Amino acid sequence: MSHESTPQPEGPLSGYLVVDLSRALAGPHAGMMLADLGARVIKVENPGTGDDTRGWGPPFVGPEDDPQATYFLSCNRNKESIALDLKSDDGRTVLRELLERADVVIENFRPGVLDRLGFSAAEMHALNPSLVVLSITGFGHDGPESRRSGYDQILQGEAGLMSLTGSGPDDPQRVGVPIADLLSGMYGAFGTLAALLQRERTGQGQIVRTSLLAALIGVHAFQGTRATVAGEVPKAQGNHHPSIAPYGLFHCRQGRVQISVGSEKLWRTFASTFGIDADRPEFASNAERVRNREKVIEEVERAFAGYEAEPLLAMLNEAGIPAGKVRTLDEVYEWEQVHSQGLVIDVDHKILGNVTLPGPPLRFFSAADTAETTLKTHTAPPLLDQDGEQIRQWLGLVPADAAAGAAAGEGR
């Protein structure tokens, strides 16, 4: 095994082929994660309209006669696109050729849809026994509600997340991003990698299943065990932690800051810094501070009232208290720390030209010399069927329009 570094190292999934049959966000996000790791991801879309998210806007950008949805741009970098009608003989033929060569297929159809198209899991594995099939649904693949349509906000409510989010118990709120879709995509990519590892030992593919419901319950964390073990029903309580105090958002003069006082040592340092009596009976332990949360908030905001946000943050940092500001997204993408982590990338889009996208969240380094091996070159989300002809040629298939033209010529 060579340990020599190269100017443009390959990603850890270089050489793997992923066929992405999914649309909207959960499956495409999983596919994008695999693409970011170096896999070749071919996105199969409906002719004419493509992925649903191509029409999800505003905002749209680009020319009026060919507007591009920023939603689609968010979850399809580093992919190729081919348009296939899976109800046609031609579309099914191309897909079979792709599946025979693929390592992974991603789908998020309702249970039974692929079966009716002739691509059940059994049929796909008959074509390619080593294939890993990632299947994502809304409520799960079986059970009494498996056939319900699963959209993110519906699941945020059904899986209890909205009951934990908001200013109070009577103010349920959705999370500001489609977190059920994103998490199910992340769990799906994680499960896919595990299945590929197992395939290295067995030579056999398998089916990986997850759902928006499963993904949200999977991140209930301590709120889940409050319910299952302690018998409590957690409720939304705004911007303060349910089990730690002080921990949350606090107002100061002409601003606000967030602090996390997560240990008794930090509490004593914090109290000493701001002239708070750490040993008051209602403040003497974290459990007491949680029980007396409103008094804690009042005391902290009284201490902060004389400070503007930036000097206060500097003072907290100097004291070693974890603290931060609440940034808008334009501030986030201008932040030097974000750029230093490769979390902003530039790509060349066929219509839009150079565009800036949020970047991949993983970085890789050589164990031999700690040189960074993270992929640095990325491709823009593709136009619909942008790569269709090249993919057909790679498969050894004549493009459908060329075949039609040849047939017309023979008839003359």
Intra-chain end-to-end CA distance of the chain, in Å: 59
> Can you give the three-state secondary structure of 20-49, one letter per residue?
ECCCCCHHHHHHHHHHHCCCEEEEEECCCC
Active-site pick, 51, 103, 181, 385:
181
> How far is C-alpha 218 from the geometric centre of its chain's CA atoms?
15
Residues near 157 by Cβ (< 8 Å), separated by ≥ 6?
Answer: 163, 172, 174
φ, ψ of residue 297 to 5 degrees: the values are -60, -45
Residue 359's nearest CA partner among 340, 372, 373 is 340
DSSP secondary structure letters along 391-410: HHHHHT---HHHHHHHHHHH
- CA dist., res. 188 & res. 209, Å (int): 7
Asked if 360 contacts 39 with a C-beta cutoff of 8 angstroms, the reply is: no
Beta strand segments in 29-176, E? 40-45, 60-61, 68-69, 79-83, 104-107, 132-137
Q: Is 66 a catalytic residue?
A: no
Residues catalogued as catalytic: 181
